[in-house]
Each structure stands twice: as structure tokens, then as C-alpha cells.
């Protein structure tokens, strides 16, 4: 499959703004924490925070969560001291919006729930994703979705963000065996 751009920079910006509006409509920003899954989810959480501040004039707390220690696919079980997270204080009583770039099987989100439970007990946890591509293996759904993408098994969805990749776009790529580098858009 030839890589195809399904969201360009302008479409990503519109999706982030729409997600921010939906979050503001459904959650009190006073006790809200946007918690982004490292790497691209963390960047999207920061963007959502800035956009929510533009919309309602309220600064929203945001943090990062590295779920690699909690993944069921990690045979090496990294040293817990390497767990990267940037969260000010406990999560107890907060309204957490977990942010990630792509929702696929649900295993990443399950790992994030496990990590969050080790950090406290939020009042609620909602899920915001830029891309929901379906094909769930676990009963997990996003509360806020930037774009639903229908993609066959065996294809990849690559989210490129300026802060990491130098460009904002979402690419529907080739088979899983295709390297990330070959699907880059220049």
C-alpha cells in the first residue's frame, strides 16, 4: 500500500481544536488534568491544554505518562526508575483526560489505566485520541475522537508531529513490516 496522507497540518489543528471544545463542554476545567501518553500523546495533551486556555481563558494542568513498564508486550520489563512521568501531585479526585495519538487494539490504554491506578484514584478518566482506527481487542472506547479511520489489518497509521518529526500529518502507511522511516512524508 502506498502511504497516503489522511490528515495534514491544518486538519490536525482543527481536530485538536474540536477535541478541546468537546472536553470543555463535558468536563469542569477547574479539576481537569490532561495526561498525555509519552511521546505523541504527551505533545497532543500540551496542545489541547493551550487550546483549552485559548477557548475559556483557564489554564489546564497537563502531564505525561510513560506506560512502557506496564505494557503486556514488554518482555524486558524496564527498570521502574526509568519510568518517565511528569505529574504534579496525586491524581486523587482529579478529572483526568488521558490523551493518545492512535487508539487501535486498546492495549496501550489498558497499560495506562494500570499506571494511573498506581498514581492515585481520579474522580473520572476519559480518553481523547487524535485517531481511532477500530479493531479493538479490549472493550475500550474513546470519549473524544479527532478522526475515525477505517484501515485494514496489516496497515499502519503514522502520526507525525512537528515537535518530534518536523511535520504535522497523519499517514496511512503500508504493511506492519514496513519501517517507520519509509513511511515518512517529506
- Band of the pLDDT at 99, cuts 50, 70, 90? very high
Are residues 85 and 107 in contact, defined by beta-carbon separation less than 8 angstroms?
no
pLDDT of amino acid 181: 44
> What would the mean pLDDT of 72-94 be, rounded to a whole number?
63
Q: What percent of the chain has pLDDT over 90?
A: 66
Residue 27: what pLDDT? Answer: 76
Predicted local distance difference test score (pLDDT) of residue 74? 53
The pLDDT of 143-149, averaged and rounded, is 97
Q: Note if the bond before 39 is cis, omega within 30 degrees.
A: yes
Which of 138, 119, 140 lies closest to 129 in space, CA to CA?
140
Residues whose CB falls within 8 Å of the CB of residue 130, separated by 6 or more in sequence, listed in order: 7, 12, 15, 16, 19, 44, 100, 101, 102, 146, 147, 159, 170
> Domains in the chain, please, with CATH?
10-151 (3.40.50.2020)
CA–CA gap between residue 49 and residue 67 (Å, rounded): 21
Amino acid at each position: 500500500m502506498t502511504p497516503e496522507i489522511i490528515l495534514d497540518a491544518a486538519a490536525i489543528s482543527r481536530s485538536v481544536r474540536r477535541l478541546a471544545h468537546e472536553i470543555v463542554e463535558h468536563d469542569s476545567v477547574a479539576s481537569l488534568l490532561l495526561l498525555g501518553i509519552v511521546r505523541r500523546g504527551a505533545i497532543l495533551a500540551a496542545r489541547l491544554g493551550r487550546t483549552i486556555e485559548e477557548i475559556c481563558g483557564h489554564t489546564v494542568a497537563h502531564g505525561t505518562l510513560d506506560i512502557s513498564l506496564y505494557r503486556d508486550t514488554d518482555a524486558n520489563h524496564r527498570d521502574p526508575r526509568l519510568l518517565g512521568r511528569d505529574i504534579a501531585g496525586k491524581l486523587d479526585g482529579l478529572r483526568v483526560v488521558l490523551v493518545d495519538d492512535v487508539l487501535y487494539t486498546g492495549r496501550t490504554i489498558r497499560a495506562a489505566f494500570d499506571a494511573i491506578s498506581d498514581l492515585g484514584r481520579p474522580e473520572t478518566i476519559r480518553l481523547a485520541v487524535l485517531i481511532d482506527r477500530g479493531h479493538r481487542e479490549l472493550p475500550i472506547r474513546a470519549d473524544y475522537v479527532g478522526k475515525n479511520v477505517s484501515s485494514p489489518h496489516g496497515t499502519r497509521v503514522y502520526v507525525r508531529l512537528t515537535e518530534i518529526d518536523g511535520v504535522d500529518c497523519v499517514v496511512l502507511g503500508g504493511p506492519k513490516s514496513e519501517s517507520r522511516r519509509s513511511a515518512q512524508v517529506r
